[in-house]
């Protein structure tokens, strides 16, 4: 069973990820629930340029399931109009050669499996 909810199966979480219910804040809070701060701390260099890596990553992830499929459509939507971030922030992160996206995704999935599984031997 998952720790924070009375959910016995991962499939039951699908209801939480409908496009209307997923926002960057929701994803950011899930990052916190998975205790990803220490794993994502190596990306502090991005914060020195002005924006928190986890927040920008959460926005990029939320775009996948929202109606705003691209950075441009997000920034022109009512949700993104209040943002002070420009397209360059997203593209600088997305196109960074410093970030190994496969390792980052592996880390996220591994952490998720570790937190949600009954056995800690993942």
pLDDT score, position 2: 45
- Tell whether 109 is covered by a domain: yes
- Pairwise CA distance, residues 55 & 87, whole Å: 14
Q: Identify the band that residue 4 occupies on the pLDDT scale cut at 50, 70 and 90.
A: low
Q: Identify the band that residue 74 occupies on the pLDDT scale cut at 50, 70 and 90.
A: confident
> Picking from 3-7, 25-29, 62-66, 85-89, which range would have the lowest pLDDT averaged per residue?
3-7
- Tell whether 59 is covered by a domain: yes
Q: Identify the band that residue 1 occupies on the pLDDT scale cut at 50, 70 and 90.
A: very low
Domain count, the chain: 1
- Tell whether 5 is covered by a domain: no
- Tell whether 90 is covered by a domain: yes
pLDDT score, position 8: 63
Domain that holds residue 51: 10-116
Q: CA dihedral defined by 32, 18, 14, 111, rounded to 10 degrees?
A: -20
- Tell whether 56 is covered by a domain: yes
pLDDT score, position 106: 84
- Tell whether 3 is covered by a domain: no
- Tell whether 80 is covered by a domain: yes
- Pairwise CA distance, residues 111 & 36, whole Å: 8
Q: Identify the band that residue 49 occupies on the pLDDT scale cut at 50, 70 and 90.
A: low
- Tell whether 2 is covered by a domain: no
């Amino acid at each position: 069973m998952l720790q924070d909810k009375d959910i016995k199966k991962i499939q039951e979480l699908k209801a939480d990820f409908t496009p209307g219910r997923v926002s960057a804040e929701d994803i950011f809070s899930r990052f916190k629930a998975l205790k990803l701060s220490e794993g994502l701390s190596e990306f502090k260099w991005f914060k020195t340029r002005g924006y928190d890596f986890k927040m920008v990553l959460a926005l990029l992830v939320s775009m996948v399931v929202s109606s705003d499929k691209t950075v441009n459509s997000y920034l022109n939507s009512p949700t993104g109009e209040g943002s002070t971030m420009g397209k360059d922030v997203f593209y600088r992160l997305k196109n960074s050669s410093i970030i190994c996206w496969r390792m980052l995704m592996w880390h996220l999935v591994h952490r998720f499996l570790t937190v949600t599984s009954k056995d800690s031997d993942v």
